[in-house]
């Protein structure tokens, strides 16, 4: 990874482009919440989290969604600037996509959510602000020193954790049902002999056998 030349001045790698990146993401996600509010489809989050927003939309309280989303957003902004990876799920999908709309709706300000262009603009501004805060925090912490802050340790750990996925999928398939377990073993073996990571083969094998021998969710 160190071998690659990075042009930190270019848009694609620079610090100043980060707020724009977060802005684009937030605009899309906030507009996704608009879609959900208007058409009942298109929120970029898990069913359980969207359900909190839904509770407010159906006449209940927005409190849960607002508190949950806002605290996630706050924690992730701090963490993101220190670690170098802003957690997309906590900050944007949950914070901007659920928490902030819930706060707006709880005080009766519906326009940013009901109007599509307004939603895009609101998301963009929120994202620019979040990205800006992170860039500023970084400027006064990480970038002021030459220290690596253990980045190599973290990257090494991040890389090796991925290798565990293949065996984990096999174990999980084996406990789902016998046909799915066998399918996933066959898929993994084929991928292994084919010199591919076994995770992909294990999933495909499990899905093929699962189509012929369906299981129930519970």
Partner 1 sequence: MTFVLILLKSILIGGLVGFAAGMGAARMFNAPNVQALGAFRTLGEMNACEGDPASHFSFGLGFFFNAWASTVGAGAFTQDITHRVIPNWAASALLVRNKKIEETMHDPKKMAFTSALIGIVVVVFLNTTASAIPKSLQITAVKVLVPAAELLINIVMPIIFWLAAIDAGKRSGLWATVFGGLSAMIMGNAVPGVVLGILIGKGVDELGWVKLTKIMFTVIIVLFVLSAFFRGFDVQMIESFKLPVPNWLDSLHGLFNVK
Contacting partner 1 within 35-74 (CB under 8 A): 35-36, 39-47, 49-51, 61-63, 66-67, 70-71, 74
Q: Is 162 helix (H, G, I), strand (E, B) or coil?
A: helix
Q: Whole-angstrom Cα distance, residue 166 to residue 192?
A: 10
Residues that contact partner 1, how many (by CB under 8 A): 113
**82 scored as a contact of partner 1 (CB under 8 A):** yes
Answer whether 119's CB lies under 8 Å from 30's CB: yes
Q: Is 193 in the site for partner 1 (CB under 8 A)?
A: no
Q: Are 8 and 14 in contact (CB under 8 A)?
A: yes
Question: Which residue in 55, 57, 84, 182 binds partner 1 (CB under 8 A)?
Answer: 84
Under 8 Å CB-to-CB from 185, ≥6 apart: which residues?
A: 170, 174, 202, 205
CA pair distance 30, 214, nearest whole angstrom: 37
Report the nearest approach of partner 1 to the CB of residue 192 (Å).
Answer: 12
Is residue 145 a contact partner of residue 29, using CB atoms and an 8 Å limit?
no
Shortest distance, position 3 Cβ to partner 1, whole Å: 8
Quote the least distance from Cβ 34 to partner 1, whole Å: 8
108 touches partner 1 by CB under 8 A: no
111 scored as a contact of partner 1 (CB under 8 A): no
Q: What is the CA radius of gyration of the chain?
A: 22
For partner 1, the binding residue among 55, 57, 129, 172 (CB under 8 A) is: 172
Residue 134 found at the interface with partner 1 (CB under 8 A): yes
Binders in 135-154 for partner 1, by CB under 8 A: 135, 138, 141-142, 144-145, 147-151, 153-154
Applying CB under 8 A, does 75 fall inside the site for partner 1? yes
Q: Give me 86's structure tokens.
A: 């802003």
Query: Which of 109, 111, 136, 168 is close enough to bind partner 1 by CB under 8 A?
Result: 168
Least gap, CB of 96 to partner 1 (angstroms): 12
Confirm or reject binding of residue 184 to partner 1 (CB under 8 A). yes
Tell the burial category of 113 from Cβ atoms under 10 Å away from its Cβ (0-12, 13-18, 19+). Answer: buried
């Amino acid at each position: 990874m160190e071998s690659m030349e990075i042009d930190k001045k270019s848009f694609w790698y620079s610090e100043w482009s980060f707020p724009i990146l977060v802005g684009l993401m937030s605009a899309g996600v906030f507009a996704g919440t608009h879609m959900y509010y208007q058409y009942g489809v298109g929120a970029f989050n898990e069913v359980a989290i969207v359900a909190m927003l839904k509770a407010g939309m159906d006449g209940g309280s927005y409190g849960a969604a607002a508190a949950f989303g806002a605290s996630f957003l706050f924690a992730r902004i701090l963490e993101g600037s220190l670690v170098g990876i802003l957690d997309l799920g906590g900050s944007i999908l949950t914070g901007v996509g659920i928490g902030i709309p819930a706060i707006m709706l709880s005080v009766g300000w519906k326009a940013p959510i009901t109007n599509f262009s307004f939603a895009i603009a609101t998301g963009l501004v929120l994202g620019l602000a979040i990205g800006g805060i992170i860039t500023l925090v970084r400027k006064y912490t990480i970038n002021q020193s030459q220290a690596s802050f253990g980045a190599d340790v973290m990257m090494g750990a991040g890389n090796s954790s991925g290798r565990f996925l293949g065996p984990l999928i096999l174990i999980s398939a084996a406990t789902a049902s016998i046909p799915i377990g066998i399918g996933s073993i066959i898929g993994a073996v084929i991928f292994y002999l084919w010199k591919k990571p076994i995770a992909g083969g294990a999933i495909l094998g499990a899905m093929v056998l699962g189509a012929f021998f369906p299981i129930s969710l519970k």
